[in-house]
Structure 1
Amino acid sequence: MQLTLFHLPNSRSQRIIWLLEELNLTYQLVFCETKADGQITDDLKLIHELGKAPILVIEEYKNLERIVLAETSAITDFLSHRFPRIGLRDLSSAEQLHYFYWKNFAEASLMPNIVQKQVFAQIVARTPFPLGFITRAIKYGVDRAYLNMALEQQLFLINRQLINYPWIAGSEFTVADILLWFPLQACVQANPEFAKFEHIQHYLNEIKSRPAFQNALAKGNWSTLDYQTYWSKAW
């Protein structure tokens, strides 16, 4: 089986590099070309019509010549099923329930709230004078009425889960940890107030100490400064 990953630095596709490193798989890494505004060029649509990273191309898999997988969750589901050692294999029944919940929580609950904050921030930044005060007022209202409170509650929930467990599903490191890292790191780095969640801080430090994580950052051209600068704008 041959694997080719199309990757955009400092994006959610960083997690797929990390997963491939944890699984110790051989793969080719292709960096997506970007326009002046940082968006991916249309060339990637030749691989998948939506043209979004990550995209994993799988060749010589069973009787299929070529499979093109997009979406982080779909890719992680495939790889964790094909190579189950950081999936469900070593989990107890209770930990399996945690695994299913947190794996989906990361992409379905936490990430959308952060993205909404970023979208409103981008709208404010791109609104021409003298209309900027209108979009700033809308962002302030949405943040105060919903998004800030929702994120506070979500991080409280994560922090509480980590009081009794070293990893989000329990005693074993799993794909759920890989999926949760990106939005959780975005929150903690962007908003200093979230430093109060000490179990989350310890959890993120444990992630940083993993050799596969460190290898993935190096291979993916990760920039902590660029990442923090981008997500800080959401607040």
Structure 2
Amino acid sequence: MSIVLYHHPFSRAAGVVWMLEELGVPYELRFVDIMQGAQKSAELLALNPMGKLPVLVDGDAVVTESAAIGLYLADRYSLGRLAPRPDDPARATYLRWSLFAPSVIEPGSLAKAAHWEFKPSQAGWGDHESMLRAMESAVTGREFLLGDHFSMADVIFGGTLRYMLRFNMLETRPAFVAYSDRLGARPALQRSEARNLAVAKERGLDT
């Protein structure tokens, strides 16, 4: 087993468990007590100077940032299935929505919640309503982001969407809810949720 995920069930590493379950590859979860600041330990800082989770180690490769981890894993372990091949036109859409999640949805939602004042033309995420319309366009009239074909982009984009719906950080538009429900029916997602819950119980975090 070469894949090690530095993990806490209440961190973004929880979503990487879904990625790994979709791949069906063996992996080890290495618990990091973020409540005690263990993510700032010398060991973790050597892997990720940001001192944050997730951190994935695959042999000699070290990957941080959830979207980067997803793209890396899909290319390495599921090229042609969870990741379109480089010569497949669908890869353009795949990359577009994979990067839209951390580049637009996350900062755009934070800006809205925190009532930031800025000119949309000067922010990479633009204005909130345009962001929502773009998200709707991505999931309306198709099963997944690439049509009938599920991909790692759905884990990255869809994971962000599901998290924000759960914590009322995003409008519950019908297209969002329907897409979230489709993702929630995936066995790999259900397995990942069970595994994250098991770690939380084991560590006494579920009380």
TM-score bracket for this pair, using the shorter chain length: 0.7 to 0.9
Answering whether residue 190 of structure 2 is matched by residue 210 of structure 1, we say: no
Measured at CA, do residues 31 and 167 of structure 1 come closer, stay the same or move farther in structure 2, by a change above 3 Å? Answer: same
Residue type of the alignment partner of 1:54: P
1:76 to 45, 65, 70: 70
* Higher RCO (C-alpha 8 Å, min separation 6): 1
Aligned to 1:6: 6
Relative to its length, the structure with more helix (as a share) is 1
| CA distance 1:167–1:157, change in 2 (3 Å) | same
SS for the counterpart of 2:50 is coil
Counterparts of residues 33-52 of structure 1 (less than 5 Å): 33-35=33-35, 40-42=39-41, 44-52=44-52
Superposition TM-score, scaled by structure 2 size: 0.78
Tell me if 1:24 matches 2:5: no
Which of 82, 87, 102 is the aligned partner of 1:107?
Answer: 102
Distance 2:94 2:181 in 1: 20
Matched, 1:156 2:152: no
- Matching residue of 1:175: 152
1:169–1:39: structure 2 CA closer, same or farther, 3 Å change rule? farther
Q: Is the 8 A contact 2:162 2:180 kept in 1?
A: yes
Contact 2:5 2:29 in 1 (8 A): yes
Instruction: Determine helix, strand or coil for the equivalent of 1:220.
Output: helix
Q: Is the Cα–Cα contact under 8 Å of residues 39 and 45 in structure 2 kept in the other structure?
A: no
Following the alignment from structure 2 to structure 1, what is the Cα–Cα distance between the partners of residues 92 and 151?
A: 13
Q: Which amino acid aligns with 2:190?
A: Q
How many residue pairs match? The answer is: 192
Q: How far off its partner does 1:92 sit?
A: 5.9
CA contact (8 A) 1:96 1:169 kept: no
Instruction: Give the whole-Å Cα distance in 2 for the aligned partners of 1:8 and 1:116.
Output: 26
Measured in 1, the distance between the counterparts of 2:170 and 2:70 equals: 31
Give the drift of 1:170.
1.9
Alpha-carbon distance change, 11 to 182 in structure 1, aligned in 2, over 3 angstroms:
farther
Kindly indicate whether the alpha-carbon contact (under 8 Å) linking 2:5 and 2:27 is maintained by their aligned counterparts in 1: yes
Q: Report if the CA contact (8 A) 1:5-1:29 is conserved.
A: yes
Counterpart CA distance in 2 for 1:102 and 1:214 is 23
Q: Report the alpha carbon displacement of residue 193 of structure 1 after superposing the two structures with TM.
A: 7.4
Q: Percent identity?
A: 26
Give the deviation of 1:205 after TM superposition. 0.4
Corresponding position of 1:87: 83
In 2 relative to 1, CA 193–143 (structure 1 residues): closer, same or farther, beyond 3 Å?
A: farther
Report which of the two structures shows the higher radius of gyration computed on alpha carbons: 1
Give the root-mean-square deviation of aligned CA atoms.
3.0
Q: Structure 1: where are the runs of 5+ without partners? A: 60-65, 121-138, 224-235
The answer to whether residue 93 in structure 2 is matched with residue 98 in structure 1 is yes
Number of the residue aligned with 2:204: none
Gapped regions of structure 2 (runs ≥ 5): 201-207
Cα shift at 1:174: 0.7
Distance 1:41-1:92 versus aligned 2 partners, 3 A rule: closer
Partners of 1:57 and 1:67 within 8 A in 2? yes
